[in-house]
């Protein structure tokens, strides 16, 4: 932003000739990273859409083999991409997950700038979205030599090639506009909104408690994605409410006052119960042949079953696994039916007559 004399009034995210970004935390300290912002109020806050890997201790890492998870992933999503309805391997991570307007392929960032009282008249505002193929912070980590070891020749060659080319970033979208400052008066404070939830992760059927407070607002409206019961106005300046979402939902409280509008969002993750699995039953008999009046052994096992019932030439309840010896004199059939949350299943064995003396397993 510049004034009518082309003097700089505010700047955030300027890219230097070497590809570093002014005030971007990660470019100058590779152990940290720039957070995701919903509102920017000072020049040292820079909105960077990026993926930052963390190791098993959630420390920033640039080595793929050391990465265990993303500690930040606010890369702009494809149009129509619902961050609340996608698998974990493509999920949004970090503060962007609780940013209500970061979804479905777009994001809204509010720049709230204090204009010095001696600045008045037309202010030229220029905003651009820039693309970098490689993060400056990643390069600094790559260039960092190991203890008592020189840089690999491949890294030295790459560094020389990268520094020789001048295209360190490329604008992919830009917009310009003009605003007017009256150069005086005390600005009306922006509403402040605090919204929290406990717990933030529940199982299906459980509840969580939303707590909120706000100041400098004349009206507040509740909204939620996934839970129609959190809606309408909230007039009390502070309060709490128990909610029981059936699916993962993001709750937002938007407050408006003389100084503008502010909002805060939280997400409740709902763990759904796994689908019930149908039981599997196995019933076997031995030996394969027995003389009439001889004894056979039935053996059985089951998975995902809570009860079993015998029928045919035996009857009554049976444990979900076991064995039993039975004397047989004629053709017989034994059936075992086991039931569980996923339904029921059966298994049978039969012996048939062979001549006047023998019974064979069929």
The per-residue DSSP string of 84-151 comes to: TSS-GGG--BSGGGG-TTSBTTB---EE-----TT--EEEEEEEEEEE-SS-HHHHHHHHPPPTT-PP
The share of the chain scoring above pLDDT 70, in percent, equals: 98
Q: Identify whether residues 266 and 284 lie together within a single domain.
A: no
Specify if 4 maps to a domain. Answer: no
Specify if 85 maps to a domain. Answer: yes
Q: Identify whether residues 225 and 321 lie together within a single domain.
A: no
Q: Identify whether residues 298 and 237 lie together within a single domain.
A: no
| Under 8 Å between Cβ of 97 and 267 | yes
User: What pLDDT score was predicted for residue 232?
Assistant: 92
Q: Identify whether residues 114 and 222 lie together within a single domain.
A: no
Tally of domains within the chain: 3
CA distances from 135 to 24, 52, 92, 141, 142 (A): 11, 10, 19, 10, 11
Q: Identify whether residues 82 and 168 lie together within a single domain.
A: yes
Residues 279-301 have pLDDT tens digits of: 999 999 999 999 999 999 999 99
How many angstroms from the chain centroid is the CA of residue 295?
60
CA distances from 157 to 134, 168, 361 (A): 16, 17, 76
Coil vs helix vs strand at 155: helix
CATH of the domain at 287: 2.60.40
Q: Identify whether residues 167 and 307 lie together within a single domain.
A: no
User: Can you name the residues that pair with 327 across neighbouring β-strands?
Assistant: 295
Counting every residue written for the chain, the total comes to 362
Mean pLDDT of 188-211: 92
Mean pLDDT of 185-205: 87
State how far the Cα of 137 lies from the Cα of 24, in Å rounded to an integer. 9
| Cα dihedral value 151, 153, 159, 164, nearest 10 | 140
Supply the range of the domain harboring residue 343.
280-361
Residues 4-24 have pLDDT tens digits of: 889 999 999 999 999 999 999
Last residue of a domain, one of 271, 293, 312: 271
User: What pLDDT score was predicted for residue 71?
Assistant: 94
Pick the most confident of 176-180, 260-264, 314-318: 314-318
Q: Identify whether residues 265 and 287 lie together within a single domain.
A: no
Quickly state the pLDDT bin for 190 (edges 50, 70, 90). confident
Q: Identify whether residues 50 and 147 lie together within a single domain.
A: yes
Specify if 122 maps to a domain. Answer: yes
| Under 8 Å between Cβ of 216 and 189 | yes
State how far the Cα of 95 lies from the Cα of 101, in Å rounded to an integer. 12
Last residue of a domain, one of 271, 298, 317: 271
Query: What's phi and psi for 284, nearest 5 deg?
Result: -130, 160
User: What pLDDT score was predicted for residue 184?
Assistant: 61
Angle at CA of residue 290, ends 286 and 292, nearest 5°: 135
CA distances from 131 to 62, 170, 349 (A): 19, 5, 69
Omega before 199 within 30 of 0, i.e. cis? yes
| Residue indicated by tokens 């529940």 | 202
Specify if 9 maps to a domain. Answer: no
Quickly state the pLDDT bin for 258 (edges 50, 70, 90). confident
Strand ranges of the sheet holding 249-257, from the earlier edge strand across to the other edge = 201-203, 260-271, 249-257, 219-225, 232-233
Mean pLDDT of 160-174: 94
Specify if 5 maps to a domain. Answer: no
Residues 108-159 have pLDDT tens digits of: 999 988 888 788 788 999 999 999 999 999 999 999 988 888 899 999 999 9
Average pLDDT of the chain to the nearest whole number: 92
Quickly state the pLDDT bin for 332 (edges 50, 70, 90). very high
Q: Identify whether residues 40 and 158 lie together within a single domain.
A: yes
- Spatial CB neighbours of 219, under 8 Å, sequence gap ≥ 6: 233, 235, 255, 256
- Spatial CB neighbours of 280, under 8 Å, sequence gap ≥ 6: 302, 303, 304, 305, 345
Q: Identify whether residues 327 and 261 lie together within a single domain.
A: no
- Spatial CB neighbours of 233, under 8 Å, sequence gap ≥ 6: 219, 220, 221, 222
Residues 211-239 have pLDDT tens digits of: 999 999 999 999 998 888 899 999 889 99
User: What pLDDT score was predicted for residue 117?
Assistant: 79
Specify if 331 maps to a domain. Answer: yes
Specify if 14 maps to a domain. Answer: no
Q: Identify whether residues 213 and 312 lie together within a single domain.
A: no
Specify if 335 maps to a domain. Answer: yes
Last residue of a domain, one of 226, 253, 271: 271
In the predicted structure, residue 185 carries a pLDDT above the cut 70? no
CATH of the domain at 253: 2.60.40.2470
Q: Identify whether residues 305 and 222 lie together within a single domain.
A: no
| Under 8 Å between Cβ of 251 and 181 | no
Quickly state the pLDDT bin for 325 (edges 50, 70, 90). very high
| Under 8 Å between Cβ of 267 and 98 | yes
What pTM does this model have? 0.58
């Amino acid at each position: 932003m510049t004034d009518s004399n082309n003097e700089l009034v505010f700047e955030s995210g300027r890219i230097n000739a070497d590809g570093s970004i002014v005030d971007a935390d990660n470019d100058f300290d590779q152990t940290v990273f720039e957070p995701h912002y919903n509102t920017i109020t000072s020049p040292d806050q820079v909105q960077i859409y990026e993926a930052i890997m963390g190791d098993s201790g959630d420390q920033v890492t640039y080595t793929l083999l050391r990465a265990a998870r993303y500690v930040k992933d606010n890369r702009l999503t494809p149009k129509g991409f619902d961050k609340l309805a996608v698998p974990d391997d493509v999920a949004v991570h970090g503060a962007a997950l609780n940013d209500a307007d970061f979804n479905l392929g777009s994001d809204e960032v509010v720049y709230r700038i204090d204009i010095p009282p001696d600045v008045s008249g037309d202010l030229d505002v220029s905003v651009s979205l820039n693309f970098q193929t490689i993060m400056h912070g990643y390069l600094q980590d790559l260039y960092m030599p190991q203890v008592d070891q020189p840089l690999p020749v491949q890294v030295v060659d790459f560094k020389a090639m990268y520094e020789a080319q001048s295209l360190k970033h490329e604008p992919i979208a830009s917009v310009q506009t003009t605003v007017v400052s009256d150069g005086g008066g005390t600005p009306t404070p922006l509403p402040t909104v605090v919204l929290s939830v406990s717990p933030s992760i529940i199982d299906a059927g459980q509840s969580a408690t939303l707590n909120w407070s706000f100041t400098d607002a004349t009206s507040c409206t509740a909204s939620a994605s996934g839970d129609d019961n959190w809606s309408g106005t909230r007039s009390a300046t502070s309060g709490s409410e128990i909610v029981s979402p059936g699916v993962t939902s993001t709750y937002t409280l938007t407050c408006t006052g003389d100084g503008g509008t502010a909002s805060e969002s939280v997400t409740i993750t709902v763990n759904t119960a796994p689908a019930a699995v149908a039981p599997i039953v196995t019933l076997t008999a031995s030996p394969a042949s027995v003389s009439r009046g001889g004894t056979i052994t039935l053996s059985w096992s089951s998975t995902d079953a809570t009860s079993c019932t015998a029928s045919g030439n035996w009857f009554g309840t049976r444990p979900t696994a076991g064995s039993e010896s039975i004397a047989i004199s004629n053709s017989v059939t034994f059936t075992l039916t086991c039931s569980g949350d996923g339904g029921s299943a059966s298994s049978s064995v039969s012996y048939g007559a062979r001549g006047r003396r023998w019974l064979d397993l069929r």
